Amino acid sequence: MAEKHKPAPMVDEVSDFEVLEVAVRELAIEKGLFSAEDHRRFAEFAHSIGPLPAGRLVAKSWLDPEFKKLALEDGFTASKEVGIDWLNPTGFGTPSDYCDLRVLENTPSVHHVVVCTLCSCYPRPILGHSPEWYRTPNYRRRLVRWPRQVLSEFGLQIPADVEVRVEDSNQKCRFMVMPMRPEGTEDWSEDQLAEIVTRDCMLGVALPHPDRKADDKRPVHKAANPVHGH
Amino acid sequence: MGGLDKNAGTGPVNQEPEFSSVSVLEKVREKGKVWEDLAKKYGVDNPDPPWKINLDSTCEALSAEQCALPVLERRNEEDVLSESLYQDVPYPERQLLALAHSMIERGLIDEDELALRMKFVSKRLNSA
């Protein structure tokens, strides 16, 4: 069997960008702008975060009305129930002074979506790293003006009779969306429910679906008019 | 939604700063191989280069206690640079170029010492 094992492909080349990153970091440390220990701890924090705690918070809320009430009234305290302490998310201090998580409940008449118009504030301790599109000026500029248009570009059509509310993140507050529990999940466990609450659902650019999990491979639809003969 | 809070202590951010090119960074922009090309060449499928976490951590550490580079100023300048000098560079390479640019602009690091350090680092990383 051993001869069948092939190592995963790796990039065996040092790029100028990799060199630049190391050089900038080393100079900053040497000049005392931060310590190597600080950097290592931030890196460990960055490696450890992801959207799972937020998905768990939503799943618990779907199953437990009391917890849902807590999550909507006090996201900070509810976060502790899923292992996230916003006062000390890194375990060694806060990267900034945000500590107010607000959970926005979608209803049959209101759909929430989250943005940061000024920069890219994001509830990282509970939702992990922001996707690239969330940082783009294009998304940030247009979502607040034409939310339905932007959501339709994500493949999400919000009916005209549903109000769309855009929440603008800021230095004090972070937001996440609590989507509505989809039909077809009536007898599901918390673990099952947590699997279908994807990052995009909690930003408000997608809706949970019983057939779609966070780690599913996305379907690839062949183009009707392919380019380059593919 | 409390957007003014973001400006506290960080100076005006609505004024768009103007930047001129920095020689050492221009060389990286022109000749550096971006991750999406390297990933394709070597058949790997991770969307971010391995150095992305270190870059994010450097940004965090710079805005932590001593706050050598406030997060809002850095992000504002990254937006401006991403739509001007580095508009043809993909993310996260342009985030890195913008960070280095902001640091040089503020005198946190010097262009010449960065060029020299890059030579040393390149030699070290490429040593057998």
DSSP A45-103: HHHH--SHHHHHHHHHHHH-HHHHHHHHH-HHHHHHHTT--TTSTTSS--SSS--EEEE
**Is B20 in a helix, a strand, or coil?**
coil
Domain of B84 in residue numbering reads as 20-125
Fold of A51-203: Nitrile Hydratase; Chain A (3.90.330)
Of residues B115, B78, B80, the one with CA closest to residue B93: B78
**A119 burial level (CB within 10 Å; 0-12, 13-18, 19+):** buried
Query: Residue A37 is which amino acid?
Result: E
Q: Which of A38, A169, A173 faces B64 most closely, judged by CB atoms? A: A38
Beta bridge pairs of residue A166: A113
Q: Chain B 27-56, CB below 8 Å of chain A: which residues?
A: 27-28, 31-35, 38-39, 41-44, 49-51, 53-56
> What's residue A222's pLDDT?
65
What span, in angstroms and rounded, lies between the C-alpha atoms of A107 and B90?
38
> What's residue A8's pLDDT?
81
> What's residue B38's pLDDT?
95
Q: Chain A 41-100, CB below 8 Å of chain B: which residues?
A: 42-43, 46-47, 93, 95-96
Classify the complex by whether its ipTM is higher than 0.85, answering yes or no: yes
Each residue's pLDDT tens digit in chain B (128 positions)? Answer: 333 333 344 444 456 678 999 999 999 999 999 999 999 999 988 888 999 999 999 998 998 877 899 888 998 899 999 989 999 999 999 999 999 999 999 999 999 999 999 999 999 999 96
> What's residue A221's pLDDT?
63
Beta bridge pairs of residue A173: A100
- The number of domains in chain B is 1
The set of residues, in sequence order, having a beta carbon less than 8 Å from that of A20 and lying 6+ positions away, is B25, B28, B32, B96, B97, B100, B118
> What's residue B21's pLDDT?
96
Position B15 in a domain = no
Query: Whole-structure pTM over 0.80, yes or no?
Result: no
Position B101 in a domain = yes
Position B13 in a domain = no
- Of chain A, the end-to-end C-alpha distance in Å amounts to 36
The residues of chain A scoring below 50 in pLDDT are: 1, 230
Q: Which of B2, B49, B114 faces A18 most closely, judged by CB atoms? A: B49
**B4 burial level (CB within 10 Å; 0-12, 13-18, 19+):** exposed
What pLDDT, in 10s, does the model give residues A173-193?
Answer: 899 999 999 999 999 999 999
What span, in angstroms and rounded, lies between the C-alpha atoms of B106 and B84?
19
What are φ and ψ of residue B81, in 5° steps?
-65, -35
Alpha-carbon gap: B18 to the closest alpha carbon of chain A (Å): 17
> What's residue B14's pLDDT?
53
Q: CB of A21 within 8 A of CB of B54?
A: yes
> What's residue A119's pLDDT?
83
Coarse DSSP helix, strand, coil percentages of chain B, rounded to the nearest 5 percent: 55, 0, 45
Tell if the CB–CB gap between A27 and B60 is shorter than 8 Å.
no
Q: CB of B34 within 8 A of CB of B93?
A: yes
Question: Which chain A residue's Cα is nearest to B68?
Answer: A33
Question: Which chain A residue's Cα is nearest to B104?
Answer: A24
